[in-house]
Amino acid sequence: MIIAITCVVAIAVIAFILGVRPKDIPEPEPVSPFQHLDERKAAIYENLRDLQFEYRLGKLSDDDYQATKKDLQKELARVLAEVDKMKNASGAPATPAAPAKVVKPPTGFVCPSCGAKFPTALKFCGECGKPMRLAQ
């Protein structure tokens, strides 16, 4: 019974994967142009780690280790340069410039005596005639 259920589930999963996959990935291009470079970078880092690990285990000779490490570092430098180039070319900094917020102009100058508002600075209030600036 359990085996039968397992089989049914397995078939359902396979059918689901086969049924969903083709339309699930309509665009082969990743959303971010940096994604494949990031992946390559991660892969190189991983290779470097593995290399170091194997070297420590004594699986690699000094020469092999140095040569492979140099190759990987060269590859890494190339990937990093490519990322830089793309970033510069796109002109998009890490934080995309937010659309300039419309800064509301100051509501105007308010008469301290009556509260009337004026778009420009006045010596005397147009409403009540009292001096607009206390300093004067």
Q: Which residues are at the interface with Zn ion (CB under 5 A)?
A: 111, 113-114, 116, 125, 127-128
Distances from the Cα of 124 to the Cα of 31, 81, 88, 105, 108, angstroms: 60, 64, 55, 22, 14
Which distant-in-sequence residues (6+ apart) come within 8 Å of 72 by Cβ? Answer: 44, 47, 48, 51
Q: Identify which of residues 60 and 125 has a Cβ nearer to Zn ion in the complex.
A: 125
Q: At closest approach, how far in Å is the CB of 105 from Zn ion?
A: 21
Task: Tell me the three state secondary structure of residue 27.
Answer: coil
Q: Identify which of residues 8 and 128 has a Cβ nearer to Zn ion in the complex.
A: 128
93: tokens are 């900094």
Cα–Cα distance measured from residue 117 to residue 124, given in angstroms and rounded to the nearest whole number: 12
Q: At closest approach, how far in Å is the CB of 122 from Zn ion?
A: 9
Contact assessment for residue 124 and residue 113, using Cβ atoms and an 8 Å cutoff: no
Q: At closest approach, how far in Å is the CB of 87 from Zn ion?
A: 56
Q: At closest approach, how far in Å is the CB of 133 from Zn ion?
A: 12
Q: Identify which of residues 30 and 126 has a Cβ nearer to Zn ion in the complex.
A: 126
Q: Identify which of residues 19 and 112 has a Cβ nearer to Zn ion in the complex.
A: 112
